[in-house]
Amino acid sequence: MNPAHRARAQLLAYAVAVMLASALSTPAWLLAGVLAALLLAGRQALVILRRALLATLAFSAVVSATYVGHVWWLTATLPWDWLLTVNLRVLLMALLTFLFIARVNLFLALGFSRRLSFLLVLATSQALALRRTLADFRLALHSRTIRPAGLRARYRAAARAMAWLLDRALANAHESAQALQARGWFE
């Protein structure tokens, strides 16, 4: 199959799988889904499982622990069904997403719309470059202060970073438009 068609089919399959997983409320089916997703991940199963757990653990753990405490306080029982259903569903959906990210080229999958895939490529490349510069700004602030910077200094640094970001974005937009015009994109 053509790689672009294959990526589009995978995007569609992912959307359907996520929707189905979100509608499931039977722990056995959800567990089967988790195992199937891990099987599909093959050698990457552990890496994908780790990523999915890290991405969802904070929110799920706080909600689960609070709900367990709440139900125990009211009824002196543990809500096993809810715990299993919701945590397996959250895990399954996160596994599907990380499997999709690992296996599918999103830029190729969105190739049916030239504008959409172009927008995504341009936005992602610029976003990663801007993020890297922001990390440099943070390190620069640390390296120029002997003691940890005070609240006022950190606010001023954050505001400067925001202003720089937006200024850079305006310049990037102008440069990209000129580059595209020079290459005949708008004709």
Site for another protein in 31-50 (CB under 8 A): none
161 interacts with another protein by CB under 8 A: yes
160 interacts with another protein by CB under 8 A: yes
173 interacts with another protein by CB under 8 A: yes
Nearer to another protein, 3 or 101 (CB): 101
The contacts of residue 3 (CB under 8 Å, 6+ apart) are 105, 108
Quote the tokens at residue 66.
């609070």
| Helix/strand/coil for 25 | coil
Residue type at 170?
A: L
Residue 6's H or E segment, with its range, is helix 3-23
Query: Of 51, 34, 33, 30, which is closest to residue 102 (Cα–Cα)?
Result: 51
Nearer to another protein, 119 or 140 (CB): 119
- In the complex, the smallest distance separating the C-beta of residue 78 from another protein, rounded to whole angstroms, is 12
- In the complex, the smallest distance separating the C-beta of residue 100 from another protein, rounded to whole angstroms, is 8
166 interacts with another protein by CB under 8 A: yes
79 interacts with another protein by CB under 8 A: yes
